[in-house]
A and B are shown apart, each in its own frame.
Chain A
Amino acid sequence: MPSYLLKRLLGMLPTLMIVVLVVFLFVHMMPGDPARLAAGPDANLETVELVRKQLGLDRPLPEQFLTYVLNLAQGNMGVSLRTKLPVTTEISTRFMPTMLLTLTSMAWSVVLGMLVGIMSAVFRNRWPDRAGMTAAVSGISFPNFALGMLLMQIFSVNLGWLPTVGADSWRHYILPSITLGTAVAAVMARFTRSSFIDVIHEDYVRTARAKGASEPSVVGHHALRNALIPVVTMMGLQFGFLLGGSIVVETVFNWPGLGRLLVDAVNMRDYPVIQGLVLLFSLEFILINLIVDVLYGLINPTIRYK
């Protein structure tokens, strides 16, 4: 197992290197001139050229790439063209709020989603199933900016129970995590249900029942473990998406997260920030995939790592 992990971790390096090259080329080929955008509409051509020099964008592209890679090797991701702050600072101040919001959203939505999914599978085509799936479809269909605004109107403006914006105390997490988690809970519920229904007709479930295992044990032990594999895969994917930051939720609740940073960076063609974020997101997905693979082994001991 340790050697497997080491191998996987080393395998990340070439992937990340390719990501660095592709992202660098990609952002520099996007239409739009960061110097003009930074200088703004009041600037004439001469001022735009001054700003271009200030930002170091007047140098040839291969030179810029080389500098970028050399700096990156030393852990320096460059300086934001927009705010002049180091990219590492820009990202790190927003990483924790995004991470914590992702964790709180995932925690309740995975638990609730799986409970509803199991319930629906066990009581298939009876009213708990109908109710659960109606809720799930509604959760997927309801746009989350509308949900966010609705929750804010009810709980902050009308009832005055919860704050509208900010990320300072646990009460700030309630509305954004409900908004963000709803779609995840819905997806999880539907996934768990279908995966469970597949499993519940397998021979080993019948065997378990035949040998006299109680129904909770059949559902919770024999069926659940086997149904978990696709569910965990989905969970990993959702986790990765949420870690990218949700633009909608961050905008509505003014959450200081990574999604808005990416949107602002793309709007202003803030090359170093875009590169840094894409690199981070790639890294996160690779790591999550690795964790999911390890989880497979824990859930199903017949899976071996080589």
Chain B
Amino acid sequence: MKNFVLPRGWRTLCLGSILAVSLAAPGVALAAGDVVFAVGQAFETLDPYNTNSTGTQSAGRAYYEGLYGFNQDLVLVPLLAESHEVSSDGLVYTFKLRQGVKFHDGTDFNADAVKVNFDRASNRDNRLARYNQFNRIAKTEVVDPTTVKVTLTEPFSPFINAIGHPSAMMISPAALQKFGKDIGFNPVGTGPFQFVEWKQTDYLKVKKFDGYWRKGYPKVDTLTFRPVPDANTRTAMVQTGEAHFAFPVPFERAQQLKDEGKVDVIDAPSISVRYVSMNVLQKPFDDVRVRHAINYAVNKEAFGKVVYAGHAQLMDGVVPKGVDFAHVSGPWPYNPAKARELLKEAGYPNGFEASLWSAYNDSTSAKSVQFLQQQLAQVGIKASLEILEPGQRVQRVSQAPDPKQAGVRMLYATWSASTGEADWALRPLLASEAWPPQLNNTAYYKNDVVDANIAKALRVTKREEKAEIYKIVQEQIWKDAPWVFLNTANNVYLRNKKLSGVYVMPDNGLSYADIEMK
């Protein structure tokens, strides 16, 4: 072995390649004006009406705009509409549109365009994945080029929130005509950026739209969205400068990155609630004392520290802070002694055995249910864990045909009310009409006061009155505790120090209307 020496030619070759590598790297230069986003989810389609992915909708904000939109704090702001009026019966919405707005293909944005888009979304035959968001639209009429009148089939007070949602975008009618079903590959809107290229496995690229109605915007030339599934890799990309923005990043690494100080680490509140639903049709969860006991048994403060490295807020109401009409009722105190007492009262002095499922199979969710299992064990409840992969979840939870036979007992799940309004934080999860297989009331909770008031709130357009109704609903649910109210996890994201005007919104979407690179 001692005389094993590389031949001379080889030595030069090796040395040469090492040199070449070190000189040429890092090859991805920071092109002036190109901002790269490393995002978690891959894009499935670019048609906002036919997707449920927040990632797709976030990218959509580059090339599309709706009549209304949410700013970075989830507050509704007018975009393509200037104002609207609601008739006293809550059925007719009249929108005044912004003038002088053009689509990327040069055609005008006007009332006709609104009609084409709403007709498309509310037509059953188009079989779009977001149909139930628009199914209350009875008809859309053009009054004049800047005025459009939408009539609903029944009063629906969160309608403005529904059309401020990033799925309710205005697509160029000419492009819809031209591309037909392929509109999902060729987005044409009024947004600040226009579509350039989408390489499914690699990136989505958009460039500045010169004819954008908001003068002086956007302030960067191009954006590149790169779906990168691994959180550590996204982090590394911002560290090397290959990306300027990364979300989500691992909670455990946030502190270390902050200490290094090379990139901005931002810890922003979210509206994604983490809860455990308890099937109230089944023993022992039919007893409210048991449900209270479980709420007392879990140390939510520790839960946030263990699972989210402290990047979480306690849940202090059924509807989280940041969602319109949220009411503060908690947080639920941690008191294991009281939990044991309540269990004893309910007839379970030695606890009981029950299954706890996690609706997701990522590592954070797995950690969550393990922590809960350990907490429940402290009061004598033996939880058997099962971590469901998406297909199993659909099969065993969402599609369970008969409520009485449903296998779900305790289910760890999360929810983010995509319209930013209390209705979508309550109705799909806690109204009796939302029992699976209809929607996601996995607690099979049914309370007449709650049902009646959730329905009533849809018909009420006055804010104060609505707030009062939602307060009653939320206090009733808190008292009945069909859920273990855990917490809302923060959104932790990384931003290059030169980049500003980019935010992760509380609904996990991205907001970058004022994006700028110094």
- Whole-angstrom distance between the alpha carbons of A264 and B42 in the complex? 10
Q: Are A163 and B229 in contact (CB under 8 A)?
A: no
Contact: B229 with A43, CB < 8 Å?
no
Which residues of A sit under 8 angstroms from B242, Cβ to Cβ? 163-165
Mark interface residues in B214-229 (1 if CB within 8 Å of A CB, else 0): 0000000000001111
Q: 8 Å CB contacts to B: which residues of A164-208?
A: 164-166, 169, 171, 174
Most chain A Cβ neighbours within 10 Å, of B21, B129, B181: B129
Closest Cβ of chain A: how far from B415's Cβ, in Å? 8
Interface stretch of the complex, out of A154-162, A215-223, A231-239, A297-305: A154-162
* Contact between B26 and A160, CB atoms less than 8 A apart: yes
Shortest distance from the beta carbon of A9 to any chain B beta carbon, whole Å: 31
Taking CB atoms, residues of chain B closer than 8 Å to A267 are 389-391
CB pair A85–B25 under 8 Å, yes or no, is: no
Q: Contact between A84 and B184 (Cβ–Cβ < 8 Å)?
A: yes
Question: CB distance A45 to B437 under 8 Å?
Answer: yes
Closest to B418 in A: A42
Q: A32 and B391: CB pair below 8 A?
A: yes
Q: Which residues in A have their C-beta under 8 angstroms from that of B392?
A: 31-32
Give the complex CA separation of A24 and B24 in angstroms. Answer: 48
B131 cross-chain contacts in A, Cβ below 8 A: 43, 46-47, 50
B398 touches A40 (CB 8 A): no
Answer whether residue B405 sits at the interface, using C-beta atoms and an 8 A cutoff: no
**Smallest CB-CB separation from B414: which chain A residue?**
A41
Chain B nearest Cβ from A63, distance in angstroms = 19
A269 and B391 in contact (CB under 8 A), knowing A84-B45, A163-B28? yes
- For A50, the chain B residues whose CB sits under 8 A away are 124, 127-128, 131
Asked if B26 and A161 sit within 8 Å, CB to CB, the answer is yes
B230 in the interface (beta carbon within 8 A) = yes
Does residue B456 face the partner (Cβ distance < 8 Å to A)? no
**Contact between B127 and A53, CB atoms less than 8 A apart:** yes
A263 → chain B, closest Cβ, in Å?
9
User: Is A128 in the interface zone, CB < 8 Å from B?
Assistant: yes
Interface residue from B133, B202, B395 paired with A32 (Cβ < 8 Å): B395
Q: Tell me whether B394 and A156 are in contact (CB under 8 A).
A: no
Assuming the contacts A50-B124, A162-B21, A171-B24, asked whether A37 and B230 have C-beta atoms less than 8 A apart, the reply is no
How distant is the Cα of A50 from the Cα of B129 in the complex, in angstroms?
8
Instruction: Give how many B residues have a beta carbon under 8 Å from the other chain's beta carbons.
Output: 58
B233 proximal to A (CB < 8 A): yes
Q: Are A160 and B394 also in contact (CB < 8 A) when A50-B131, A171-B25 are? A: no
Query: What residues on A are CB-neighbors of B233 within 8 Å?
Result: 149, 152, 164-165, 251-254
Return the chain B residue nearest A51 by Cβ: B129
Q: How far is the CB of A161 from chain B (nearest CB, A)?
A: 5
- Chain B positions within 8 Å of A97 at CB level: 201
**Are B236 and A152 in touch, CB under 8 angstroms?**
yes
Q: Does A93 contact B (CB under 8 A)?
A: yes
A84 to B128, CA, bound (A): 13
Interface string of A250-270 (1 = CB under 8 A from B): 011110100010001011110
A123 contacts partner chain B, Cβ-Cβ < 8 Å? yes
Q: Which residues of A contact B53 (CB under 8 A)?
A: 40
Q: Is B94 part of the contact surface with A, judged by Cβ < 8 Å?
A: no
Picked from A31, A41, A174, the residue with its CB within 8 Å of the CB of B440 is: A41
- Shortest CB-to-CB span from A135 to chain B, Å, is 14
- Whole-angstrom distance between the Cβ of B247 and the nearest chain A Cβ: 15
* Separation of A84 and B127 alpha carbons in the complex (Å): 14
Asked whether A171 and B232 contact (CB < 8 A) given A45-B438, A82-B44, A85-B200, the answer is no
CB pairs A–B below 8 angstroms (24 shown):
A31-B396, A32-B395, A33-B398, A36-B399, A37-B390, A37-B391, A40-B51, A40-B52, A40-B53, A41-B52, A42-B428, A45-B438, A45-B439, A47-B130, A51-B129, A83-B45, A83-B200, A93-B200, A152-B233, A163-B27, A164-B237, A165-B242, A252-B232, A269-B390
Chain A positions within 8 Å of B, measured between CB atoms, are 30-33, 36-48, 50-51, 53-54, 82-85, 90, 93-94, 97, 119, 123, 127-128, 149, 152-153, 156-157, 160-166, 169, 171, 174, 251-254, 256, 260, 264, 266-269
